[in-house]
């Protein structure tokens, strides 16, 4: 099974890129972030014509997540509230950032983690609170009928210095501050492992490059898009790669796909 994650930075702007990529990379599951479109305007038909079932949770101009799947998904869940209850989640589901579903007894959890804007800002505090809620959400799912899962998406956090082209000054930089990293590691302490680092240890591998600084042309990138796997799935992971090619296309997303491959034959 191949599962890809890709922050497309507007599904309508990147529709042809998505179609072209899927024709040459017919993954089983594709998780999208920053779709930036309300559900009724999501361009489902072209992807359904490629053989995908399309599951969406969107909002106008911002955020938005979707899952494309070759096979129908079960137990589709949108937001934190179906798992944690509205009393606990309060207004965190107003921003469309979480969608999940089950296939082959595996729960696919697609996330668009808040960016945080700048350290100490209101948005930064929101990001930290959102991440703490995510840990509660995943803790509950570990106790469900489907305790094996792939948590993927745009995490807006580079876990280590080797995930940044130049880590100098990282302590005062959003997406690499100590508190963000500590909060992410606290989530991973639930038993989740970074699929990419199972196969690639060296630095210099990135999934996002800033438009504003000519980041891609200078390869000044960050690795902030991840697949985290529960122990059994981590053992069954046989590859995890970053596909840089779509970032070379005309008017690309600032992110590029990350693909994990699982060998499920011995399940």
For residue 237, list its beta bridge partners: 262
Cβ distance 70 to 52 under 8 Å? yes
Please state, as a whole number, how many other Cβ atoms lie within 10 Å of the Cβ of residue 83: 18
Residue 156 in marked binding region: yes
145 marked as part of a ligand binding site: no
- For residue 154, say whether it is annotated as part of any ligand binding site: yes
Q: What angle do CA 34, 16, 216 make, to 5 degrees?
A: 65
Query: Is 34 labelled as part of a ligand binding site?
Result: yes
Contact (CB, 8 A) for 36 and 10: yes
Which residues are annotated as catalytic? 112, 154, 255
Assigned token pair, 196: 């990419």
Phi first, then psi, for residue 145 (nearest 5°) are -70, -15
Q: Output the six-digit token pair for 263.
A: 């060998």
Burial class (CB within 10 angstroms; exposed 0-12, middle 13-18, buried 19+) of 94: exposed
The DSSP call for residue 39 is G
Tell me the Ramachandran region of residue 68: left when phi exceeds 0, alpha when psi lies from -120 to 50, beta otherwise: beta
Q: Taking a C-beta distance cutoff of 8 angstroms, is the pair 227, 152 a contact?
A: yes
The first and second tokens of residue 224, run together, are: 């902030």
| Dihedral class, residue 203 (left if φ above 0, else alpha if ψ from -120 to 50, else beta) | beta
Choose among 106, 141, 111, 76: nearest CA to 236.
Answer: 106
Residue set of the binding site for Mg(2+): 7, 34, 154, 156, 254-255
Residue set of the binding site: 7, 34, 154, 156, 254-255
């Amino acid at each position: 099974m191949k599962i890809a994650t890709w922050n497309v930075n507007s599904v309508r702007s990147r529709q042809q890129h998505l179609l072209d990529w899927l024709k040459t990379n017919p993954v089983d599951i594709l998780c999208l972030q920053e779709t930036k479109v309300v559900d009724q305007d999501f361009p489902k038909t072209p992807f359904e014509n490629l053989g995908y079932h399309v599951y969406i949770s969107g909002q106008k101009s911002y955020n938005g997540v979707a899952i494309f799947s070759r096979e129908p998904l079960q137990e589709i869940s949108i937001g934190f509230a179906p798992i944690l209850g509205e009393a606990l989640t309060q207004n965190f589901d107003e921003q469309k950032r979480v969608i999940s579903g089950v296939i082959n007894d595996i729960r696919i959890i697609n996330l668009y983690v808040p960016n945080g804007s700048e350290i100490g800002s209101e948005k930064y505090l929101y990001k930290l609170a959102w991440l703490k809620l995510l840990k509660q959400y995943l803790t509950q799912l570990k106790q469900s009928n489907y305790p094996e899962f792939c948590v993927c998406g745009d995490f807006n956090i580079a876990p280590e210095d080797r995930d940044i082209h130049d880590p100098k000054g990282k302590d005062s930089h959003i997406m690499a501050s100590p508190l963000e990293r500590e909060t992410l590691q606290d989530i991973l302490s639930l038993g989740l492992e970074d699929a990419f680092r199972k196969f690639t240890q060296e630095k210099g591998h990135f999934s996002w490059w800033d438009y504003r600084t000519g980041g891609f042309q200078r390869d000044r990138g960050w690795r902030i898009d991840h697949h985290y796997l529960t122990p059994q799935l981590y053992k069954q992971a046989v590859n995890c790669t970053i596909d840089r090619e779509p970032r070379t296309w005309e008017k690309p997303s600032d992110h590029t796909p990350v693909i994990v491959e699982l060998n499920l034959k011995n399940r």
